[in-house]
């Protein structure tokens, strides 16, 4: 039996489209057990009534992918998902499943693959690295896939020393739908705009020059197009800034939005939530932070006490 804890992630951080991501202090737990035969999936928490419980489950797919890569046979598996990460809300729920699955499978097989190889498998499944890399490694990560398909990344050790307010509207935006609204080509000026902002974002985060975050998260490559899928997006961003947010951006493909604030996160969060409430849209709020921890693996140790056995997790 293996227990894993995998963080939620936010991708893009505004201007860093498909290449900058960060791990958040919201986690899913995944418990994986081998069994003689068959597939069993239990789901507790987020998605309990909608997550697939068969071979189409994303954690199961990730486990099978690693077994296939290792030329190993998978007889049976039981997966228990204890979910806190909202599903299809732009907070890396699919990346958490993929990372949890590939890491669990690697542990079961006595680690035939190193982290770099696991990242490659995970990115192949996800299609882009901005969520799976921070889910695996933690922190803020800049990552790209080179011409040979290898994942290249730089983890920024400096964490944002502020509060993060995550506003999660009660509707979903599928990543596929969020990509369909993007144009096939972009204006040259828009490309230059984002290159400058993304460069400033990376430098601000790496050097701790957080006074530049407000302009550094500005974007013209994806957020202007995706707002047609997300009611009130502009108004929520304006409200966040009016209530003292250092920066505000769409999290991944949305519809969740994240505000970075120095103080009074609850007041700011409630103000953002009220914008949706006026439109009859319910929201959840998370108050969290950037975490330096990626996926954590816990193995049970069995000890005896008299005639009784007990498992503890290390």
* Domain extent for 202: 163-288
Please tell me whether residues 147 and 223 are part of one structural domain: no
Report how many domains make up the chain.
2
Please tell me whether residues 276 and 298 are part of one structural domain: no
List, in sequence order, every residue forming a beta bridge with 62; answer none if it has no partner.
none
**Is 311 a member of any domain?**
no
- CA distances, 268 to each of 11, 25, 61, 231, 236 (Å): 22, 19, 39, 19, 10
d(CA 270, CA 101): 36
**Is 19 a member of any domain?**
yes
Please tell me whether residues 144 and 175 are part of one structural domain: no
CATH number for position 220 = 3.30.70.890
**Is 314 a member of any domain?**
no
pLDDT per residue, tens digit, the chain (314 aa), is 899 999 999 999 999 999 999 999 999 999 999 999 999 999 999 989 888 888 999 999 999 999 999 999 999 999 999 999 999 999 999 999 999 999 999 999 999 999 999 999 999 999 999 999 999 999 999 999 999 989 999 999 766 789 999 999 999 998 889 999 999 999 999 999 999 999 999 999 999 899 999 999 999 999 999 999 999 999 999 999 999 999 999 999 999 999 999 989 999 999 999 999 999 999 999 999 999 999 999 866 544 444 444 454 44
Please tell me whether residues 228 and 128 are part of one structural domain: no
């Amino acid at each position: 039996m293996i227990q894993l804890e995998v963080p939620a992630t936010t991708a893009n951080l505004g201007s860093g489209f498909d290449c900058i991501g960060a791990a958040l202090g919201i986690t899913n737990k995944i418990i994986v057990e081998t069994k003689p035969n068959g597939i069993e999936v239990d789901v507790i928490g987020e998605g309990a009534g909608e997550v697939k419980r068969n071979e189409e489950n994303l954690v199961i797919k990730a486990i099978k992918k690693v077994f296939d890569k290792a030329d190993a046979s998978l007889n049976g598996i039981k997966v228990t998902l204890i979910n806190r990460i909202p599903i299809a809300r732009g907070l890396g729920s699919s990346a958490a499943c993929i990372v949890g699955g590939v890491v669990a499978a690697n542990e079961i097989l006595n680690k035939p693959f190193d982290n770099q190889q696991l990242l490659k498998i995970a990115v192949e499944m996800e299609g882009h690295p901005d969520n799976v890399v921070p889910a695996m490694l933690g922190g803020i990560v800049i990552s790209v896939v080179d011409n040979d398909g290898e994942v290249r990344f730089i983890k920024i050790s400096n964490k944002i020393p502020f509060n993060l307010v995550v506003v999660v509207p009660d509707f979903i935006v599928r990543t596929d739908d969020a990509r369909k609204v993007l144009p096939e080509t972009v204006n040259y000026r828009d490309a230059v705009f984002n290159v400058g902002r993304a460069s400033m974002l990376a430098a601000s985060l790496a050097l701790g020059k957080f006074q530049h975050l407000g302009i550094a998260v500005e974007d013209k490559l994806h957020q202007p197009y995706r707002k047609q899928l997300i009611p009130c997006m502009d108004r929520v961003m304006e409200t966040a800034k009016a209530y003292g947010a250092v920066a505000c951006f769409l999290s991944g493909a949305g519809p969740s939005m994240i505000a970075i604030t120095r103080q009074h996160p609850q007041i700011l969060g409630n103000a953002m939530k009220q914008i949706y409430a006026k439109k009859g849209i319910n929201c959840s709020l998370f108050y969290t932070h950037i975490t330096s921890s990626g996926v954590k693996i816990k193995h049970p140790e069995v000890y005896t006490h008299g005639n009784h056995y007990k498992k503890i997790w290390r």
